Amino acid sequence: MTKLNTFLHDLSPVECKKFQEFVDADYFNRRWDVRRLLAYWLQSKEKPTEAECFAAVYPERHFTKKDWHLLCSRLLKLGEQFLTVEALQRDAPQQKLLLSQAYRKRQQPMAFKSTAVAAEKLLAKAALRDADYWQRRHQLADIYYDFIASQNRKRRTNLQEVSDTLDYYFITAKLKTACLAHARQTINEEHYDIHLLEAILQLVEASPELQAISSVQVYYLCYRAITEQANEQWFTKLRHVIKAQSSQFSRTEQRDIFLLATNYCIRRLNAGKTAFIREAFELYRLSLDAGFLLEDGVMPESTFSNLVTLAAKLGEYEWAEYFVEANSPLLKSVFQEPLSHYSLGLLLYHAGQLDQSMRHLAQVDTKASFLLLGTKTLQAKIYYEQQEWDALDYLLESLRVYLQRHKDLGYRKRNYEQLIYFVRKLVELPYQSKSKQQQLIEALDQAEGLTEKEWLKKMCTQALGR
């Protein structure tokens, strides 16, 4: 009954009432035992046992697992039909598409044409212009082609519209998939082959008509931006298009687009481009205000951490403290306490309160690599700034061992290996010759993907000025 219990518990009070009406309707269900099971479950104040439910439905019968599972299966099947009907009830364009198909099969041309026209009007009124919109436009055009071609084979058809709408849907969906695949490949080192991608990119590049389709334009610019990061004109164009056209996408797609744009900024920051701090922070705040940062009611820990880090770098301490307090309950339970301590430690460090920062960092108890590495990085910076050389040496060695043992860190591993190297060289810097000092500064300038480059350069300047 686990699956059925999950389904029933997930229903709101309003949905429970509607589901009971659904099950009681003879059109959908004529089995009295299924109706009785649902009624008993809904009126029970506490979760009833399988035997109690069975006895309530069949008081004269002996309980058997086989009969019980069959009864549950029947009710669950009705539940799934109920969800399908509810979804369709909220989707007027899809209703018209299905109805036009039904009239076409029944060979009722007048009814078909009026329904197809109504479907076209509903689609035209829709605010969204995403991949789903073009898929529906293609479905409607395809149905209409079949109608036209069967009526008069010499009459000009709408095949051009059939082809164009298919192109818009296919290209949008392909480009979106390519963007998501690239993001997954970058973060998790997953590999995907997106067939026809190069041909699609060339086609969009050469076609002003395709570039005028907002869904194609957004994902084309997004793909160019995240794959050609050094060419920042792509992101500039993308940011402008997002601002102008984001309302043409569903909330789910808006969330994905904002996430891809924000990840671009984070990657540029990781490459040492500090100009993207404010850009990333504002994108995150827009996403937060729009409710895009929650996934099934939970805020991803990486999102939470990134927002606090950006706020700290911008000196938005009051806003960040409120954010931590208000949103830490939205994290997975395993992250709520350690990530709160880390975040407060980070804010206090940037505010110059190093001892208070270290007290919070000492309370970060976690096995999550991103959080553990972030904590060690902050502690290393504090130890260096407070000239705690023995503690710093011990921490860097423990960090080296951790990196050696964990092979699944992806591109982040190189960042922390560089951090260890440069911090150790930084400690030795005042005692090196002028040529060695210059070599270190040049090596630091050339280091790629080093997230703490600005801090290291600042410490170099201070060390040489002593």
Question: Nearest-CA neighbor of 97 among 149, 166, 143, 150?
Answer: 143
Instruction: Tell me whether residue 461 is in a domain.
Output: no
Instruction: Tell me whether residue 43 is in a domain.
Output: yes
- Give the whole-angstrom CA distance, residue 199 versus residue 205: 10
- Give the whole-angstrom CA distance, residue 118 versus residue 101: 13
- Give the whole-angstrom CA distance, residue 441 versus residue 283: 33
Q: Given this model, what pLDDT does residue 79 score? A: 97
Instruction: Tell me whether residue 307 is in a domain.
Output: no
Helix boundaries (H) for 351-452: 354-361, 369-385, 389-405, 412-428, 434-446
Cβ-contact 46, 62 below 8 angstroms:
no
Residues with Cβ within 8 Å of residue 285, at least 6 apart in sequence: 307
Instruction: Tell me whether residue 23 is in a domain.
Output: yes
Q: Given this model, what pLDDT does residue 266 score? A: 86
Token pair, residue 453, equals 């480059």
Q: Given this model, what pLDDT does residue 1 score? A: 59
In this structure, how many other beta carbons lie within 10 angstroms of the beta carbon of residue 254? 20
Helix (H, G, I), strand (E, B) or coil at 400: helix
Could you list the residue range(s) of the whole structural domain that residue 71 is in? 2-89
Q: Given this model, what pLDDT does residue 464 score? A: 80
Task: Give me the half-sphere count of Cα atoms (radius 13 Å) on the Cβ side of residue 116.
Answer: 23
Instruction: Tell me whether residue 40 is in a domain.
Output: yes
State which amino acid sits at residue 69.
Answer: H
Instruction: Tell me whether residue 182 is in a domain.
Output: no
- Give the whole-angstrom CA distance, residue 376 versus residue 399: 7
**Which residues of the chain are modeled with pLDDT < 70?**
1, 466
Q: Given this model, what pLDDT does residue 277 score? A: 92
Instruction: Tell me whether residue 62 is in a domain.
Output: yes
Q: Given this model, what pLDDT does residue 47 score? A: 82
Expressed in angstroms, the distance from the first to the final Cα of the chain is 72
Question: How many structural domains are present in the chain?
Answer: 1
Phi/psi of residue 231, each to 5°? -90, 90
- Give the whole-angstrom CA distance, residue 323 versus residue 320: 5
- Give the whole-angstrom CA distance, residue 396 versus residue 383: 11
pLDDT (tens digit per residue) in 101-125: 999 999 999 999 999 999 999 999 9
Based on the number of CB atoms within 10 Å of its own CB, is 40 exposed (0-12), middle (13-18) or buried (19 or more)? middle
- Give the whole-angstrom CA distance, residue 134 versus residue 140: 10
Instruction: Tell me whether residue 246 is in a domain.
Output: no
Q: Quote the pTM value.
A: 0.79
pLDDT (tens digit per residue) in 123-180: 999 889 999 999 999 999 999 998 887 777 777 889 999 999 999 999 999 999 999 9
